[in-house]
Structure 1
């Protein structure tokens, strides 16, 4: 059996961590060791719900899980082959009910599953998390999802995410010190069904992203990154767009201004010999990109790797957003932060397009760098009084 070993900080959670480093919002003494997390079940389902709070203890760097009281438990040593992890599940609320647990200072995920507990295992390298693109993954036929969050001395960053899959609908929120709340992640009425219907009707293999049980019950739609990986989506699905981009910028210049607060920091891209070279204002080449394939685009990795630096990473993030949203041909100045130009080309990330179309506020983490231009489903507060996860209806 092939397991997927994930770092505790996934792409979106890593972005939240990066945000907290640069903002420094909130006072160090404003956030207590734990805050309440209220989980409300508005799903309309009769299945029992199981909650898991898994992540990294920010005070020690240890990986583990938190119980309902917010007490941290480090994972024991794993094995090869992987060994069962301790049962970290917390009984969730019944339909129409809410529970409140304590959220500690973590960077990690809150999972929730319907009907069955999730299967977690431990290797010598850490926690093995569900990888349902693998048909033999033990969680493949379980309906589940997760939110990602960072809670530290500077506050909370919590998001809904579809970077890996679109599945059980939910929203996240936070209560501020003045009692006001802000939230994100809710679908429009009918948005769950609307998304799957739209994906089924999209030609070109996109319907193959949908996973069902043997009786036809919908489980989820895989992100196109995994669709390409398992052959459900053609590996050349983005080639036509990439070829047009490289053709355009062989005779024109692509200008990237990666930092909104640094408008004078610009990089200039030109294609030569099937390589896009970026130069600084002085004319020096600072980084180069080969033609990205669909996997690199959808995953924002490989040929579009984004290291945590001040040059290649920010340029790559901008390119990744431009390819996924298909804005690189209509705007030579990137990032294009207005959604008016997003997803208009016939060759685009239709998974992301259809998710954003069904979100009540238009915001989502449909790919790793969906935060470029602030289009991500993330809420932050420097002095949070309470966090929320709302399990929404499957309609």
Structure 2
């Protein structure tokens, strides 16, 4: 299964390419992109965009489908062909214009080729993607970074969904890992009929209000445009670098004197803290240094999850337990009862808020939110269509 963590590793492995600009170089899945400005591509899955915001007319909504295929940065043209990113795509203002307009009214149906990428939507004005040269000398895109005040897209209302589509099927999600702004939902049809991402009535306002109500998280709310995830807020100086330190210390102290059990597909690992390190035995010997608040929020650093079937799955369970603050109270992980999540005063209130606002309780509030199947993620090995709905703002 291609979880969001695997998509995230390829799509968000960003290098800074200028003041506040994220240069994203996704790892490819799928067939090669032939040379040329535009080519017909394998796949041709119908993608329907539905504008139900109630705030913006179709004429004010712009869609961008960008990502990669076989190691090359690509974008989808309005007629459904796949075109490689090129430096010559930058216009006189220094930015590309890859916007796909919606139909004058009603639904808009596009064609999605095999690729791994993101569907961005911008409301009110267009996004500015800049084509640049990456470290390997290839053309790449600087993606929007709505959590960076100096980013040229900071004032644009925008958001994205993520996907990997290839001969194995469609794997997709709505994501709040970086920020929450435009409420979106996915319906994926094929072998099954699945939906995710739908908010409860007034869900967008509920997220903004809930985050704003917690003093430590309130600076993450950027007017009515977006709520920034706390990890990015930490990097921007808007969130305390030691916010989770007391909880992390408590967890390390707790498991210095009792066993921690973590069950993964590889089996059950038993861990103890000794000498400041949490070490596990079981199907394999794996260990973790004490993480920082940033490590927990980004599910990285001391909690990095390599795709090795051993350390990676244990790291994911630990990351989820830290963000949901169930690690101290429950020695058998992962916990699967959502009623036990986010119960402590010091917790990831951002993730709590986005989960509380979804109709099915599923959201991607942090990178390991797919642990125990609480992520807004769906997949189908025989897809026939995908609908991305921009849902009501209020």
Say whether the fold is shared (TM-score over 0.5).
Answer: yes
Residue correspondences, number: 356
- Residues 20-76 of structure 1 deviation map (CA, whole Å, 9 limit, x = unaligned): 9xxxxxxxxxx962111000100012350000010112xx33211011232111012
Does the residue aligned with 1:344 lie in a helix, a strand or coil? coil
- Tell me which residue corresponds to 1:33: 43
TM-score normalized by the length of structure 2:
0.86
- Tell me which residue corresponds to 1:98: 107
- Tell me which residue corresponds to 2:10: none
Q: 1:141 aligns with which of 124, 135, 155?
A: 155
Give the Cα–Cα distance (whole angstroms) in 1 for the partners of residues 157 and 341 of structure 2: 30
Do the aligned residues in 1 keep the contact of 2:24 with 2:141 (CA within 8 Å)? yes
Does the residue aligned with 2:225 lie in a helix, a strand or coil? strand
* Cα displacement (A) at 1:3: 1.3
Consecutive unaligned residues of structure 1, counting only runs of 5 or more, are 21-30, 213-217
Give the Cα–Cα distance (whole angstroms) in 1 for the partners of residues 85 and 42 of structure 2: 24
- Residues 314-335 of structure 1 deviation map (CA, whole Å, 9 limit, x = unaligned): 1111110010011111211111
Does the residue aligned with 1:257 lie in a helix, a strand or coil? strand
Do the aligned residues in 1 keep the contact of 2:96 with 2:131 (CA within 8 Å)? no
* Cα displacement (A) at 1:380: 1.4
- Tell me which residue corresponds to 1:107: 116
TM-score normalized by the length of structure 1:
0.85
Question: RMSD between aligned alpha carbons?
Answer: 2.2
Do the aligned residues in 1 keep the contact of 2:325 with 2:343 (CA within 8 Å)? yes
Q: 1:196 aligns with which of 208, 211, 219?
A: 208
Give the Cα–Cα distance (whole angstroms) in 1 for the partners of residues 187 and 172 of structure 2: 8
Give the Cα–Cα distance (whole angstroms) in 1 for the partners of residues 133 and 264 of structure 2: 38
Does the residue aligned with 2:388 lie in a helix, a strand or coil? strand
Does the residue aligned with 1:266 lie in a helix, a strand or coil? strand
- Tell me which residue corresponds to 2:241: 235
Do the aligned residues in 2 keep the contact of 1:84 with 1:120 (CA within 8 Å)? no
Runs of 4+ in 1 over 4 A off after TM superposition: none
Q: 2:143 aligns with which of 129, 138, 141?
A: 129
* Cα displacement (A) at 1:78: 8.5
* Cα displacement (A) at 1:77: 4.5
Q: 1:277 aligns with which of 279, 293, 310?
A: 279
- Tell me which residue corresponds to 2:368: 369
Do the aligned residues in 2 keep the contact of 1:239 with 1:293 (CA within 8 Å)? yes
- Tell me which residue corresponds to 2:81: 71
Instruction: Verify: 1:3 aligned to 2:21, yes or no.
Output: yes
Does the residue aligned with 2:347 lie in a helix, a strand or coil? coil
Distance 1:150 1:270, change over 3 A: same
Residues 15-30 of structure 1 correspond to what in structure 2 (within 5 A)? none
- Residues 133-153 of structure 1 deviation map (CA, whole Å, 9 limit, x = unaligned): 221111001000100011111
Give the Cα–Cα distance (whole angstroms) in 2 for the partners of residues 43 and 97 of structure 1: 12
* Cα displacement (A) at 1:340: 2.4
* Cα displacement (A) at 1:338: 2.2
* Cα displacement (A) at 1:93: 4.4
- Tell me which residue corresponds to 1:24: none
- Tell me which residue corresponds to 1:87: 97
* Cα displacement (A) at 1:85: 4.9
Give the Cα–Cα distance (whole angstroms) in 2 for the partners of residues 114 and 308 of structure 1: 36
Give the Cα–Cα distance (whole angstroms) in 2 for the partners of residues 276 and 161 of structure 1: 30
Instruction: Verify: 1:167 aligned to 2:181, yes or no.
Output: yes
Give the Cα–Cα distance (whole angstroms) in 2 for the partners of residues 325 and 195 of structure 1: 17
- Residues 191-227 of structure 1 deviation map (CA, whole Å, 9 limit, x = unaligned): 1111111111113x20110112xxxxx1000011101
Give the Cα–Cα distance (whole angstroms) in 1 for the partners of residues 307 and 133 of structure 2: 26
Does the residue aligned with 1:327 lie in a helix, a strand or coil? coil
Instruction: Verify: 1:119 aligned to 2:128, yes or no.
Output: yes
Give the Cα–Cα distance (whole angstroms) in 2 for the partners of residues 78 and 256 of structure 1: 51
Give the Cα–Cα distance (whole angstroms) in 1 for the partners of residues 47 and 95 of structure 2: 24
Does the residue aligned with 2:250 lie in a helix, a strand or coil? helix
- Tell me which residue corresponds to 1:211: 222
Do the aligned residues in 2 keep the contact of 1:158 with 1:173 (CA within 8 Å)? no
Does the residue aligned with 2:249 lie in a helix, a strand or coil? helix
- Tell me which residue corresponds to 1:391: 390
Give the Cα–Cα distance (whole angstroms) in 1 for the partners of residues 158 and 379 of structure 2: 24
- Tell me which residue corresponds to 1:330: 329
